[in-house]
Amino acid sequence: MTKIVIVGGVAGGASAAARARRLSETADIIVLERGEHVSFANCGLPYHIGGDIRQREALLLQTPQSFKRRFNVEVRTFHEVIAIDRAARSVTVRVWPNGEEYQERYDKLLLSPGAAPVLPPIPGLDSHGVYSLRNMPDMDRIMAALEQDKPAHATVVGGGFIGLEMVEALHQRGIKVTLLELAPQVMTPVDPEMANMLHQTLVNHGVELRLNTGLSAVVPQAGVPAAGDGRRLELHLSTETTLATDMVILAIGVKPEVRLANAAGLELGLAGGIKVDAAMRTSDPDIYAVGDAVETPEFVTGKPGLMPLAGPANRQGRLAADHMLGREVSYTRTQGTAICKVFDLAVASTGLNEKRIQSLGLAYEKIYVHPASHASYYPGAHPVSLKLLFDPQNGRILGAQAVGKDGVDKRIDVLAVAMRAGLSVLQLEDLELTYAPPFGSARDVVNQAGMVAANVIKGDERICHAEELLALGENQWLLDVRNPGELKSIGQIPGAVNIPLDELRQRLDEIPKDKEILVTCQVGLRGHVACRLLRNAGFNARNLSGGYKTFEMVTARY
């Protein structure tokens, strides 16, 4: 009878427990969870704060009782594992609130401790009104503060997933919000120009966005009444300014919980997570680790990386249970596919972003498209702004990012599958995707991205990027083939000459033969037609990928 002890009862730990029981009716399975809850919906916490999820109970997916009844798994909450004795194959458990300790023996141990919010050494973080959000009690504290302190203004520190979700949640509660982000962009999994669309929607919704700005200190203001006119906290910022606020949500990031593993002498990896093999085993073959605490090979490069995501955590938990009970398994690499709702927009990505590709020194090309989420003549269509990164030689998909109001999840899912299956961008135009006017287009967003990328690889389209247009060379000439009304109403790139596409064939004599023609339109489609026309007529032309819309995304400053 195998005795399996699982440390941490959320996501990976809960998956492993249920899977282990399905494989073995006789295994002894114990889950030790230091918190009050197991298997709660941690991804749902901001949505309960914001009011989208009305019932707190909806977030409690399982209880110790339900786990016992259904899976005959012993779940002990308020049980914190504080040490591992690998030689004796036992863990030391401290039981809260009384602090009693006992030893629990194991045959197989699974560590699923998750990741903890990063809390830098900033003075004043222990002040009343400063919160982070990791679990149900954190959420309850924030909810209570909203009720009791009635903050008029809140400051969210950090523009990642949780930070952005909290900005929206607080905004929905009628609270004025400032978002501080130390980096020049929110949502670092995507590149800056994609993040700029999020910056715009944040500002449009009345959020005060302060990029390149960190928090240096929190100073409680004495004598300010609980729900009075003055702000209760003064924030000192890295920009040498101050900000008065009533509530601070720290969402700077998370770091893997490796204390226990490290103390037990388990090997940590290069990225700072617990090192595991393809069976999710640590350096001790009887100890497994899964979820946000471990590092796994990144899909494209195979390099170890931290990917604190729910999907991989659940998969890993299942695999660890399989392996403990004698099955052969092999965890596949992690693509890091992720999505976040930011007000009316969704932002999603898979694979590597351009920043990371550049830091790795990989050869790459990128293209942008902005097609409608479904047939543009059917109501409710919105552009999907998609960036596709690929190997310019063989067309291997390196990564993809998308932002839009509708259909973003679907396109990144399709590209994540194509990437995982090893399809090249040359094969994307042939994908047969569902089409009827309410759902897509005969040439879907992904097909169009594939056609553009294929054109680039085959040399049918030579492209340029916004950065280049900001510093035109002597022998370059910028042509905008949109209609004059568009330039006027939408904007234009300085120095561009305007010849509408439909007049281009008749006005070729206005274009210098001895210069390289850089062509732009609104989204890159007319520019492509113009470039083909120009090149077939003997000109040397390149098209701005994604057109003026991408140019705006690249050059906007918030």
State which of positions 62-121 bind a copy of itself (CB under 8 A): 66, 69-72
Round to whole Å and give the CA distance between 520 and 272. Answer: 45
Minimum Å distance from CB 227 to a copy of itself?
A: 30
Pick the closer one to a copy of itself by CB: 71 or 106.
71
Q: Which of residues 532-551 bind a copy of itself (CB under 8 A)?
A: 532-533, 536-537
Stretch that binds a copy of itself, among 204-212, 236-244, 360-368, 419-427 (CB under 8 A): 419-427
Q: By CB under 8 A, which span of 46-54, 87-95, 239-247, 257-265 interacts with a copy of itself?
A: 46-54
Q: Which is nearer to a copy of itself, 94 or 420 (CB)?
A: 420
Alpha-carbon distances of 328 from 299, 320, 325, rounded to whole Å? 21, 10, 9
| 346: contact with a copy of itself by CB under 8 A | yes
- State phi, psi for 2 to the nearest 5 degrees: -70, 135
Instruction: Report d(CA 508, CA 534) in Å as an integer.
Output: 8
Please state, in angstroms and rounded to a whole number, the distance separating the CA atoms of residues 484 and 493: 13
Given 2, 3, 28, 44, the residue binding a copy of itself (CB under 8 A): 44
Stretch that binds a copy of itself, among 110-118, 141-149, 197-205, 330-338 (CB under 8 A): 330-338
Could you say whether residue 310 binds a copy of itself (CB under 8 A)?
yes
Q: Is 394 in the site for a copy of itself (CB under 8 A)?
A: no
The CA distance from 366 to 524, in Å, is: 13
Q: Is 423 in the site for a copy of itself (CB under 8 A)?
A: yes
Q: Does residue 297 bind a copy of itself (CB under 8 A)?
A: no
Q: With binding defined as CB under 8 A, does residue 377 bind a copy of itself?
A: yes
Work out whether 325 is an interface residue with a copy of itself (CB under 8 A).
Answer: no
User: What residues form DSSP beta bridges with 529?
Assistant: none
**Cα 287 from Cα 465, distance rounded (Å):** 49
Q: Which of 321, 416, 466, 496 binds a copy of itself (CB under 8 A)?
A: 416
Q: Does 489 bind a copy of itself (CB under 8 A)?
A: no
User: Which amino acid type is present at position 508?
Assistant: L
Q: Which residue, 237, 212, 250, 210, is CA-closest to 125?
A: 250
* Smaller CB separation from a copy of itself, 63 or 127: 63
Told to check if 334 binds a copy of itself by CB under 8 A, we report yes
Q: From the centroid of its chain, how far is CA 448?
A: 24
Catalytic site residue 521? no
> Which residue among 43, 340, 464, 521 is the active-site one?
43
Q: Can the peptide bond before residue 220 be classed as cis, meaning omega within 30 degrees of 0?
A: no
Please select the residue that binds a copy of itself; options are 279, 417, 487, 511, rule is CB under 8 A.
417
Which of the residues 22 through 41 are near a copy of itself (CB under 8 A)?
22-26, 41
| DSSP secondary structure of 355-402 | HHHHHHT---EEEEE--BSS-TTSTT--BEEEEEEE-TTT-BEEEEEE
201 is a contact residue toward a copy of itself (CB under 8 A): no
Alpha-carbon dihedral sign for residues 312, 317, 318, 323? positive
Return the closest-CA partner of residue 403 out of 325, 317, 343. 343
When asked if residue 429 is in the footprint of a copy of itself (CB under 8 A), the reply is yes
Which of 400, 342, 397, 346 is CA-nearest to residue 373? 346
Residue 24 or 555: which CB sits closer to a copy of itself? 24
Per-residue tokens: 88 = 């004796």
Smaller CB distance to a copy of itself: residue 6 or 18? 18
Residues belonging to the active site: 43
